[in-house]
Amino acid sequence: MHEIEYRNLLYFNTSCSPPVLVDEINDAGWNLRLAHDVQSAQNILLKYTPSVAIAQFDDTSGRLSVPIENFFRNVDQVEWVALIPKNAMSNHHIKQIISESFYDFHTLPPDTEKLLATLGHAEGMALMKRDNPASRQLPLPLQPSEDEMVGASPQMLDLFKNIRKVASVDAPVLITGESGTGKELAALALHERSARHNKPFVAVNCGSLPNGLIQSELFGHEKGAFTGASQRKIGRIETASGGTIFLDEIGDLPLELQVNLLRFLQEKTIERLGSTEKIHVDVRVLAATHVDLEAAIKDGRFREDLYYRLHVLKIKIPALRDRKGDIEVLAKYFFNKFFNEKRRNVKGFAPSALQLMNHYDWPGNVRELISRVRRAMVMCERRLITPEDLDLDRRNGERQVTTLESARNSAEMEAIRNALHKNNNNLALTSRMLGVSRATLYRLMEKYSLMPKP
């Protein structure tokens, strides 16, 4: 007997109504994967790489949410088939989305044989596109190991596409963006999607290391190279051999070390401190900064030749205030992620809280949003989180100039204190929870006087 070969099919139900013809679709040789929101749909695309997807629309009285509309417009590695109410085509927004992004549509309830025939035709079209290199696409969602880069706004979808493009080559990349936007997550995403993904990913925060130790940390040293050098030390660059070195806050690197880094980028060799032996190191260099390096060049604080060596490719992480459509998605995502920390009665966000978050400027970016959501989950004494629980400044546009930095500092300090308490001062677990390197965590703990007492 011929055995049916099952193919994965994404079924994105945009409402809470049950999906239709599930058994019939499965019996026809499809392995149906259900999703009820953009994030779960993205996860299915990444994990199972289906070639065909169904989207069921039940409520067509208004327009779809912005994240869902953007998702349909930007995910083109599958052929979409819509299931819609009979009156749906009178809705301009639904009609436009289907005409722009869908292979075909059926009205609810669909005829089983006709729907299965459409799915078969859609699969054939998808396979033809995959066989054509010019139209081949990789799934859009990005999922680094622990903390996903969440978002369905046009800015984030563009970022995901750029990361996939840049990951496929081996040139240096400069990652820019404000503090708290997720530059290290972007670097990790680049590494995990590169040919070096099975090799080390080593993150170094150039601003957290004392000037006297930076050279030893980056390039290593030999035994006896200086007082206290009792044994050979392999530097971070050499440790990352075959993989990726991520140099965070590269703008804080002293000028004398910039010369050494430039030489390494030119020659692909290093010299350990106290040695003249040249050691070849095959490593991809990613660098990040939240400062204006071009201004630093004019001020004489950063070498122009090093800037152009690092700036072969560039990834810019958008500020949270520039992707307002993601704020609600992020808030709900982190609410679910830290679900076990909340009070038992808390079920979600009040509309007034979501409205306030959407109008707030988020000077601390995603890092501040995480801190505010986690605080609210603990402090809330009602069923729904209110604006008071978030403790956000309601006076948008009325902040004094000094408030931007103080808000960032306050958000960082509160997030670190909460994470340290949650993990019993375990730095490895705390850095993983916060999505930063241990070096970055150590520097911030020193900055805010959060170091544990001896």
User: What CATH number has the domain spanning 320-447?
Assistant: 1.10.8.60
84 close to 110: Cβ distance less than 8 angstroms: no
Architecture label for domain 154-316: 3-Layer(aba) Sandwich (3.40)
Average pLDDT value over all residues in the chain: 83
Q: What is the mean pLDDT of residues 206-218?
A: 83
User: H or E stretch including 158?
Assistant: helix 154-167
Looking at residue 367, what is its pLDDT?
A: 93
Contacts (Cβ under 8 Å, ≥6 apart) of 320: 180, 181, 326, 327, 330, 362, 365, 366, 369
Question: pLDDT by residue (tens digit) across 276-295?
Answer: 899 999 999 999 998 899 99
The per-residue pLDDT for 132 is 52
Residue 173 has pLDDT above 90, yes or no: yes
Residue range 415-425: mean pLDDT, rounded? 83
Range scoring the smallest mean pLDDT among 65-74, 365-374, 394-403: 394-403
Task: Tell me how crowded residue 328 is: count the other CB atoms within 10 A of its CB.
Answer: 17
Percent of the chain surpassing pLDDT 90: 37
Give the end-to-end CA distance of the chain in Å, rounded to a whole number: 72
Closest CA to 186 of 46, 366, 50: 366
Q: Where are the alpha helices (DSSP H) in 173-288?
A: 183-192, 211-219, 236-239, 255-267
Q: Coil, strand or helix: which one is 171?
A: coil
Tell me the whole-structure pTM to 2 decimals: 0.58
Average pLDDT over residues 429-434: 83
User: How large is the average pLDDT for residues 18-39?
Assistant: 88
Question: β-strands 52-56, 79-84: how paired?
Answer: parallel
Hey, where are the domains in the chain?
7-135, 154-316, 320-447
C-alpha span between 250 and 309 (Å, rounded): 13
The Cα–Cα gap between 69 and 62 comes to: 12
φ, ψ of residue 393 to 5 degrees: the values are -75, 115
Residue 174 and residue 313 in contact, taking contact as beta carbons nearer than 8 Å: yes
pLDDT of residue 401: 35
| pLDDT for position 16 | 64
Class of domain 7-135: alpha beta
Answer yes or no: same fold for 7-135 and 154-316.
yes
Tell me: pLDDT of 167 over 80: yes
**Are 162 and 209 spatial neighbours (Cβ–Cβ below 8 Å)?**
no
Of 13-27, 105-119, 141-155, 361-375, the least confident: 141-155
